[in-house]
A and B are shown apart, each in its own frame.
Chain A
Amino acid sequence: MGSYILRRLVSAIPVLFGITVIVFAIMALIPGDPATAILGSYATPENVEKLNRDLGLDRPAVARYFIWLGNMLTGDFGTSFSLNRPVLDEILERFGATLILAGTSFVLCALFGVLAGVVSAANQYGWADKAITFAVLLGISIPSFFLGMLMILAFAVERRWFPVSGMYAIYGGGGLGDLLRHLVMPATALAVVATGVVARLSRSAMLEVLRQDFIRTARAKGVHERRVIWRHALRAAMVSIIPVLGIQAGFVLSGAVYIEIVFQWPGVGRMLVDAILTRDILLVQGGVVFVAACYVLFNIVVDVAQSLLDPRIKT
């Protein structure tokens, strides 16, 4: 198992490398002179020149890429000009908040998505299946940001069950209870679409598995139907559910952007949007590379989980 994890880590290196290349290539799409694009057409020539130097734009692209990559490897993501502080500091400070939000949503979507999918499949064409199928359709069709706004209207204005925004109360906030109260609505709003996708896939994966011969064997042994569904069938269905969970992890991680805006959540997504609007290129570059790298690493976790579940995968 240890060597498998190590091999997966090593195989992630070219992917991480590719990510930096893609991000760099995208940033090279900036039309015209980037410094002017960033500072606006009224910028003084001195400022433009200084920024060009800071961004290393006076050198050829390949050289620029390797300088950027080398700096990142030593932990230097550059300095954000709009915030006037190191990019990495800003990212690290905010990434925790995003991780709490996206992590909670991920757990919610995995738990309720699989649960709904299994119940739906076990009662195929029954009322529970129909209700879940309808809820899922609604869930995957509603924009998360609109859902978040509706939740604020429903649960935070007249019924003050949950706070409207933020991560902690401004006065006298702090502590786990306060965090959870602030987390309920954003995490739910973010999880809904992913839950729908997971539920849909779990349902069809379960239906596929329930037709297999080994399910008939379990029934012939006299295993109780509950156990047939939740142990025999679900275990086998998880093999096709887990990769989808991996994809949904990426979805909640990046979809957090909308929710962070709606609920004023102090995470990386909001930082990225602000950075895009202020054209803070280094901050955008750093943020995108950092989040994408985290996602690549998380996918290794997914692969390892898959190999633990399925002994047929060579480790």
Chain B
Amino acid sequence: MRRFLALLARNRLALLGLVVMGLVVLLALVTPWLPLKPPNVTNTSDKFLPPFSEGALLGTDHLGRDLLSRLLWGTRLSLAVGFAAAAIAATLGAAIGVVAGYYGGRVDNVVMRGVDMLMAFPYILLALAIVAALGPGLFNALIAVAAVNIPFFARNIRGVTVGIAHKEFVDAARLSGLSDARIIVSEVLPNVVPVIVIAMSTTVGWMILETAGLSFLGLGSQPPQADLGSMLGEARSAHITQPHTSVVPGVMILIIVMAINLLGDGVRDALDPRLRSGALSRPMAATQVARDHVPPEPRAEGVLTLTDLETQFHVGKRTFRAVNGVSLHVAPGECLGLIGESGSGKSVTALSVMGLVASPPGVITGGSAQYKGQELIGARYGKLRQLRGDRVSYIFQDPLATLHPLYKVGDQLIEAIRVHHPVGRRAARERALGLLRDVRIPNPESRIDAYPHEMSGGMRQRVGIAMALANDPDVIIADEPTTALDVTVQAQILSVLSDLRRERGLAIVFITHDFGVVAQLCDRAAVMYAGRIVEQGTTEQILNHPRHPYTALLMKCVPELGAGRRRLEAIPGLPPAVDRLPEGCAFADRCPKVQPDCRAGEIVLRQVGDHAARCLHPVERAREEAAQ
């Protein structure tokens, strides 16, 4: 509760709403003791006095009644009716919802059918029907407004209750012999209260508006008693000549409803954990770049060369160093494997190249990425967009989420082509068919008009590959494209990629945590840990003679066919959190060979021939061989 209030207070607009609402409620509460003229005493000789007249601060209405006094009394009435309606609707709606949700089955079915039926009515129409039956009057209007809001509460609360009714603690209470009534009161209700509060905070404004509306139509409060709505209704006849009589109550309704809405939004935000973390930010078209130093010159040749790349996530006051000075390069026709556990920064490295890291919270804070000598980090959006998908393209993991669910796969392929080449739809479709054939999709003529959800995982992954190939790119960055697939499909897809590399001289960066895939496809490999490259070399070197203990351990985790009864080992411990990286080697805490100097300051990537490792006490090649 304290935390909730603190969150609410941090939201300045909600606080404003709270203050305004507090003032209005306070005014309404003390109205009977204020030195006001009686609200209903007519004095036709003083009718239509303008605002700021003597003795009538806001002027008078068509019967000479003091508007200020009527306004405050009217506010009091409107608030009372609005809150009463909200309380009634919440109580009855919650009761219905809890009963339906808790008992389920038949009860639930019958009750919710009725609720759906009521919701089939346009909202205000139902209120009108109820007032028509009961007759005009403020009390009847209150009942009508409360009644039409009951279904809304019932439906919301039922949903939450269904979730709670099957939780362990409710089962436990049932087993301990508590009665249903006791369980509902002691176990269910406390959990649905936040939902009731949210629902009330979002509807009480509507209810005040609706009661004002009914009174405005002459169906609510009856003269001489007046709430804000009927003040507005009475003022309508003289509206054009004496606007102040209608503007005064109208503005009051506006202020009240606006304050309630601000407050309601604040309450909702404070109670909704997703909004609290700011997770609902939209990623921008390209990752934000904020480099505070001049990007370094590339130190290696390649069609794609990354040098000292740094990408961070800024969440609140915390900084996660997802990519911490990564240098990589890949040559035409070459395949580079990028290996590491989940969270090691492989994907973020890959996405940084074309500015596809979600931003906010992602920021590229340093380094360079060059495609054929053109700098990509910090490049204009237009240039980046031109290269994306045309020269450098991506294959993503999980194609069910990465393909647009509402477009046919053919149209998505055609779009990929037409974004970069001004060809007609027909020609693009032919090309798309060719691409589907290239990735060995059977029956491409019929598959081209299928939606992603109509295809199998393997087929969708092929579509993802076809899309990446659409414009004959120079570089493909494949982010675990085979992880979600079974072994046979995986083998097929790898051979497709392998063929294409040979035929087209494609450079591939292949991200994976599977050494088998690396052995099959890659010429060179780089191993990442906690945002840095810890070892880099030819596939042969990495697989057969790993120097970094991490690589060696990682390989022991891989079950090997025909290797007999080797123990499958997991690396003990967890990778460090990248917002609190330790000094020295990030792997030190999990390393079997750790020495005191491992934790003392920066460790460089030491190059021996074309094999590099970031380790002070690397696995000795001789010992490795002796052990085997």
Contacts and interface: CB of A to CB of B under 8 A. Distances in A.
Contact of B128 (A30, A232, A276): A276
Interface string B264-302: 000000000000000011110110000000000000000
Given A18-B120, A253-B122, A23 B387 contact: no
A146 interface: yes
Interface of A: 15, 18-19, 21-23, 26-31, 37, 121-122, 124, 137-138, 140-143, 145-146, 149-150, 152-153, 157, 164, 204, 206-208, 210-225, 228, 232, 235-236, 239, 250-251, 253-255, 257-258, 261-262, 272-273, 275-277, 279, 281, 284, 288, 291-292, 295-296, 299, 309-312
Given A143-B209, A149-B239, A232-B404, A220 B356 contact: yes
Contacts of A137: 258, 261-262
A206 B281 CA distance: 11
Please list the 6 inter-chain residue pairs (A to B) with the smallest Cβ-Cβ separation, ordered nearest first. A254-B122, A250-B122, A222-B389, A146-B250, A254-B124, A141-B258
Contact of A217 (B247, B396, B419, B470): B396
B90 interface: no
A210 B386 contact: no
B543 to A, nearest CB: 30
B356 A292 contact: no
Contacts of A275: 132
Contacts of B117: 15, 18-19, 21-22
B62 interface: no
25 contacts: A21-B117, A29-B130, A29-B133, A137-B258, A143-B212, A143-B229, A143-B253, A207-B280, A210-B283, A213-B398, A214-B403, A217-B404, A219-B286, A220-B389, A222-B386, A232-B404, A250-B122, A254-B124, A254-B125, A273-B128, A275-B132, A279-B135, A292-B121, A310-B406, A311-B451
B401 A292 contact: no
Contacts of A279: 132, 135
A239 B404 CA distance: 13
B254 A142 contact: yes
Interface string B438-469: 00000000000001010000000000000100
B239 A152 contact: yes
B122 A312 contact: no
Contacts of A121: 282
A30 B246 CA distance: 33
Given A220-B389, A275-B132, 17 more contacts: A18-B117, A28-B133, A146-B232, A157-B240, A207-B281, A219-B356, A220-B356, A220-B394, A221-B470, A232-B404, A235-B407, A250-B122, A254-B122, A258-B216, A258-B217, A276-B219, A312-B405
A82 B540 CA distance: 96
A258 B283 CA distance: 42
B352 to A, nearest CB: 13
B385 A149 contact: no
A279 B218 CA distance: 13
B617 to A, nearest CB: 40
Interface of B: 113, 116-118, 120-126, 128-136, 205, 209, 212-213, 216-219, 229, 232, 236, 239-240, 243, 246-247, 250, 253-254, 257-258, 261-262, 280-283, 285-286, 351, 354, 356, 358, 381, 385-390, 393-394, 396, 398, 401-407, 415-416, 419-420, 451, 453, 467, 470
A261 B262 CA distance: 29
B123 A251 contact: yes
Nearest to A145: B216
A255 B285 contact: no
Given A153-B240, A312-B451, A141 B205 contact: yes
A295 B118 CA distance: 13
A232 B402 CA distance: 12
B236 A222 contact: no
B282 A261 contact: no
B285 A219 contact: yes
B250 A149 contact: yes
Contact of A145 (B232, B258, B407, B453): B232
B404 A164 contact: no
A280 B583 CA distance: 84
A236 B262 contact: no
Given A124-B282, A152-B240, A207-B282, A250 B123 contact: yes
Contacts of B213: 143, 145, 257-258
A276 B129 CA distance: 8
A40 B528 CA distance: 88
B124 A255 contact: yes
B134 A31 contact: yes
A254 B123 contact: yes
Given A146-B253, A153-B239, A292-B121, A273 B217 contact: yes
Contacts of B470: 221
A15 B386 CA distance: 54
A255 B356 CA distance: 46
A260 to B, nearest CB: 10
B254 A141 contact: yes
Nearest to B279: A211
B125 A291 contact: yes
Given A138-B258, A141-B258, A143-B250, A19 B129 contact: no
Contacts of B236: 149, 262
Given A284-B129, A288-B129, A223 B121 contact: no
Contacts of A218: 404
Contacts of B113: 18
Nearest to B407: A235
A213 B347 CA distance: 13
